[in-house]
């Protein structure tokens, strides 16, 4: 297959120099180079376009602006070549020489060395020397259980800034996958956290807010250099280690493991000349990297620990779309670890190939497109792949020793509330329900969640519904079909009566058989408890 890498490698990763980093932080704060201020400077239209990776409205909006934050955004995110004097005015404490020592800037005269001349924003050679950015440096704002945060994240320059496909050694900024993983990770205070495949370090930095010690690993020295820079710039301490998968933490256990591993399924070349995108490709055929990782992970989970991962898996059996994760997780289940696999999306092989070719900066207009897509499709066909699942893989080691439980679910919706809390509560419920037989479940006093409502579908003019649904407003926004007995039971769950008493009362009102109704309602309520629609 053809080489997929761009012709030019990115610049060297930034350097950690404490005095210069402190000066940079001062300038970033003084310039108000933060998300909230930049949205004011850009306006709603340009801000929205930039989130879609369309820089044109932002360039138009910022043209001629003297706001220091506008200067920094144009330089570091939009890839503009700017007059040195203008950049120096935005970085008065650090200065241009300090920025060059950190590896952030270079004279514009050398821009041709990386195959991209930048986008001249204003001025010309008559305005004096110009400079260009060597990295992307963007503000990042979020909120978690510890409150709001405002950081700056350095990464390699994006395709938006360079106009070129991404390098195989590209280090990503905070993308959609990073945001997703951050949103689903529980933020309960813990002792030790492992960020496996840390990239630029965003997950490890989040974990530092609720953990005593954070270990972050990556195979890429370049990624670890960016992670070290980002941690230093934002005043965070991380234990950074280089190595493949779990090798750097052999023999260690953690209270939480988070991972956005290089899970993209990429065709392998028989002659080993294919140069993959390291930041997303694990260097294995098919989806076997996740299989290896999940087989090793249980040994690193302390009692009560959780693991939260993103992943892709091949679907070769339409009757069981979870066959691959199910096989991968068998060692974990045997080791007493509970597992939950949520498929959030699915693509066919052609969709998948197109998605990840574009992610690497290859488009249908590129002369490499046809051969690259053909290689992907041939690779999938060799394993009879019919689809590729996208989703979350959650693991938890209960305190009690028993065989682990596996739950698989198609979950495409998202409701209100904090998804991380919802998923953590569901894992805890899985553990609790494992200890309750039907009699014990019937003796509990469940409470219907406040976000659960009932929806009825009727033929106009008729009293009896064709369909009753219990609808979840929070969590994963599930919709559960129900009959009259289940709907009536759930509606009465306010914690006053036991579940068994509620079922008996419903049967008394409807003349239904109690034992037959219990046999139907108890498994249904057990499922509702797992999904957070009923609290035990």
| pLDDT given at position 77 | 95
Specify the residue for token string 């020793």: 401
**CA diameter of the chain:** 92
| pLDDT given at position 261 | 84
CB 223 within 8 A of CB 279: yes
Structure token pair of residue 277: 């995108």
Q: Provide the β-strand partners of residue 242.
A: 218
CA-closest candidate to residue 291, choices 263, 321, 252, 258? 263
Q: Helices H, strands E: what count in the chain? A: 20, 19
pLDDT digits (tens, 9 = 90+) for 364-399: 888 888 888 888 899 899 999 999 999 999 999 998
CB 328 within 8 A of CB 291: yes
| pLDDT given at position 125 | 46
pTM for this prediction: 0.88
Q: State how far Cα 334 lies from the chain centre.
A: 28
Kindly list the distances between the CA atom of residue 97 and the CA atoms of 84, 88, 103, 109, in Å, as whole numbers in the listed order. Answer: 11, 9, 10, 16
Structure token pair of residue 15: 């350097």
Query: Cα(238)–Cα(128) distance, rounded to whole angstroms?
Result: 41
Structure token pair of residue 328: 């991968």
pLDDT digits (tens, 9 = 90+) for 393-426: 999 999 878 899 999 999 989 888 888 989 989 9
Q: Is 313 exposed, middle or buried (0-12, 13-18, 19+ CB in 10 A)?
A: buried
DSSP state of 161: H
Residues 6 or more apart in contact with residue 234 via CB below 8 angstroms: 151, 152, 205
Helix (H) or strand (E) holding 323: helix 323-328
User: Low-confidence residues of the chain, pLDDT below 70?
Assistant: 1-9, 110-127, 268-285
| pLDDT given at position 190 | 96
Query: Cα(468)–Cα(466) distance, rounded to whole angstroms?
Result: 7
Q: Provide the β-strand partners of residue 293.
A: none
> Residue 236: CA atoms inside 13 Å, Cβ hemisphere, count?
31
Query: Cα(311)–Cα(47) distance, rounded to whole angstroms?
Result: 30
Total Cβ atoms within 10 A of residue 303: 12
| pLDDT given at position 433 | 93
Where are the chain's structural domains? 18-138, 176-413, 438-535
| pLDDT given at position 26 | 98
Long-range contacts from 64-71, C-beta under 8 angstroms, 24+ separation: 64/122, 65/41, 67/41, 68/30, 68/31, 68/32, 68/33, 69/31, 69/32, 69/33, 69/34, 69/37, 69/38, 69/41, 70/41, 71/31
Q: State how far Cα 507 lies from the chain centre.
A: 46
pLDDT digits (tens, 9 = 90+) for 81-97: 999 999 999 999 999 99
Give the angle subtended at the CA of 450 by the CAs of 445 and 451, to the nearest 5°: 130
Total Cβ atoms within 10 A of residue 80: 25
CATH class entry, domain 176-413? alpha beta
Structure token pair of residue 377: 């499709």
CB 276 within 8 A of CB 266: yes
CB 406 within 8 A of CB 430: no
| pLDDT given at position 109 | 73
Q: State how far Cα 470 lies from the chain centre.
A: 29
| pLDDT given at position 283 | 60
Specify the residue for token string 């098919």: 286
| pLDDT given at position 169 | 81
pLDDT digits (tens, 9 = 90+) for 232-258: 999 999 999 999 889 999 999 999 999
Structure token pair of residue 354: 């197109």
| pLDDT given at position 6 | 42
Q: Provide the β-strand partners of residue 499.
A: none
pLDDT digits (tens, 9 = 90+) for 175-217: 888 999 999 999 999 999 999 999 999 999 999 999 999 999 9
């Amino acid at each position: 297959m053809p080489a997929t890498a761009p012709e030019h490698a990115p610049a060297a990763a930034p350097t950690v120099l404490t005095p210069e980093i402190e000066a940079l932080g001062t300038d970033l704060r003084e310039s108000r180079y933060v998300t909230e201020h930049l949205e004011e400077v850009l306006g709603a239209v340009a801000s929205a376009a930039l989130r879609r990776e369309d820089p044109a409205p932002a360039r138009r909006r910022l043209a001629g602006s003297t706001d220091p934050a506008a200067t920094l955004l144009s330089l570091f995110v939009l890839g503009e070549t700017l007059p040195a004097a203008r950049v120096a005015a935005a970085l008065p404490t650090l200065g241009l020489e300090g920025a060059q020592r950190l590896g952030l800037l270079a004279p514009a005269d050398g821009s041709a060395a990386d195959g991209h001349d930048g986008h001249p924003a204003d001025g010309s050679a008559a305005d004096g020397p110009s400079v260009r950015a060597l990295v992307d440096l963007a503000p990042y704002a979020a909120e978690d259980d510890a409150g709001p945060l405002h950081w700056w994240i350095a990464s390699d320059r994006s395709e938006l800034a360079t106009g070129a496909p991404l390098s195989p050694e590209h280090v990503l900024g905070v993308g959609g996958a990073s945001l997703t993983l951050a949103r689903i990770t529980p933020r309960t205070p813990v002792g030790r956290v492992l960020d496996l495949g840390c990239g630029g370090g965003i997950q490890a930095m989040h974990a530092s807010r609720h953990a005593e010690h954070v270990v972050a690993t990556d195979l890429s020295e370049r990624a670890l250099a960016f992670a070290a820079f980002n941690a230093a710039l934002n005043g965070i301490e991380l234990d950074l280690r280089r190595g493949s998968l779990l090798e750097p933490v052999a023999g260690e256990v953690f209270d939480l493991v988070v991972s956005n591993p290089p899970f993209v399924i990429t065709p392998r070349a028989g002659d080993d000349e294919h140069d993959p995108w390291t930041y997303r490709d694990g260097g294995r055929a098919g989806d076997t990297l996740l299989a290896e990782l999940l087989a090793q992970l249980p040994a690193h989970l302390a009692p009560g620990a959780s693991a939260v991962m993103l992943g892709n898996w091949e679907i070769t059996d339409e009757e069981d779309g979870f066959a691959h994760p199910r096989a991968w997780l068998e060692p974990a289940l045997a080791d007493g670890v509970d597992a939950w696999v949520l498929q959030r999306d699915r693509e066919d092989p052609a969709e998948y190939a197109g998605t990840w070719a574009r992610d690497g900066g290859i488009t249908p207009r590129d002369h490499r497109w046809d051969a690259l897509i053909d290689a992907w499709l041939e690779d999938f066909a060799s394993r009879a792949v019919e689809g590729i699942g996208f989703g979350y893989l959650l693991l938890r080691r209960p305190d009690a020793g028993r065989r682990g439980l596996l739950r698989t679910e198609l979950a495409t919706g998202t409701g209100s509330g904090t998804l991380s809390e919802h998923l953590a509560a569901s894992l805890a419920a899985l553990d609790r329900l494992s200890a309750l037989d039907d009699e014990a479940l019937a003796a509990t006093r469940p409470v219907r969640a406040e976000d659960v409502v009932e929806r009825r579908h009727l033929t106009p003019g008729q009293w009896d519904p064709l369909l009753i649904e219990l609808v979840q407003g929070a969590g994963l926004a599930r919709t559960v079909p129900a009959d009259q007995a289940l709907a009536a039971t759930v509606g009465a769950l306010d914690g006053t009566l036991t579940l068994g008493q509620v079922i008996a009362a419903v049967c008394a009102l409807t003349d239904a058989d109690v034992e037959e109704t219990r046999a139907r309602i108890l498994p249904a309520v057990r499922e509702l408890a797992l999904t957070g629609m009923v609290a035990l």
